[in-house]
Amino acid sequence: MPLKIITYRDPQSAILFRPLKKIKSFGKDLQKIAKNMRETLVSLEGLGLGLAASQVNIDQAICVIKVGKRVRLFCNPEITFFSPEKEILEEGCLSFPDLFFPIVRSQKIKVEFFSLKGQKKMLEAEGVLARVLQHEIDHLNGVVFMERK
């Protein structure tokens, strides 16, 4: 079921500004959270490309990203490499509706993360996927996009 997006105006908004807890248990509860987050992101029909758990008031380091038709899930993601090549593009955020700022991001990154089954994985990303991953991983670390201006 789609979840409510927390905005900076909501009483629960403090969760947007602090790091989330690392996932330690990869069981059915996590699968349910992931399913609901995926449904929430898909229900937005392109209004957002990614969703971090903090944005739906869940204190776990998990995010979902939809670039193109594929929805990807990342548990405990950490960026292990940032390319020196940067790009400035305007970004917005579901938790800060109607606010847009030019944000500097690396064009390519490497991310280590875990699957829903607890398997360690690595992904090299560039372009839109790299930008969205950086935005969502920032959320998991309690960093909101306008802090990157």
Mean pLDDT of the chain: 95
pLDDT-wise least confident of 11-15, 30-34, 87-91, 144-148: 144-148
Q: What is the pLDDT of residue 45?
A: 80
pTM: 0.95
Exposure pattern of 79-103 as b/e (b: 16+ CB <10 Å)? Answer: beeeeeeeeeeebbbbbbeeeeeeb
Q: What is the pLDDT of residue 148?
A: 82
pLDDT reading at 135 higher than 80 = yes
For residue 110, what are the domain limits?
Answer: 13-148
CATH number of domain containing 127? 3.90.45.10
Could you tell me the strand order of the sheet in which 120-126 lies?
50-52, 62-67, 70-82, 108-114, 120-126
Q: Is 5 part of a structural domain of the chain?
A: no
- The Cα–Cα gap between 63 and 20 comes to 11
Number of domains, the chain: 1
Closest to 32 (Cα-Cα) out of 8, 56, 7? 56
Q: Is 81 part of a structural domain of the chain?
A: yes
Q: Is 143 part of a structural domain of the chain?
A: yes
Catalytic residues: 136
Six-digit token pair at 122?
């690595």
pLDDT in tens, 25-79: 999 999 999 999 999 999 988 788 999 999 999 999 999 999 888 899 999 999 9
Q: Is 134 part of a structural domain of the chain?
A: yes
Q: Is 120 part of a structural domain of the chain?
A: yes
Six-digit token pair at 68?
């193109």
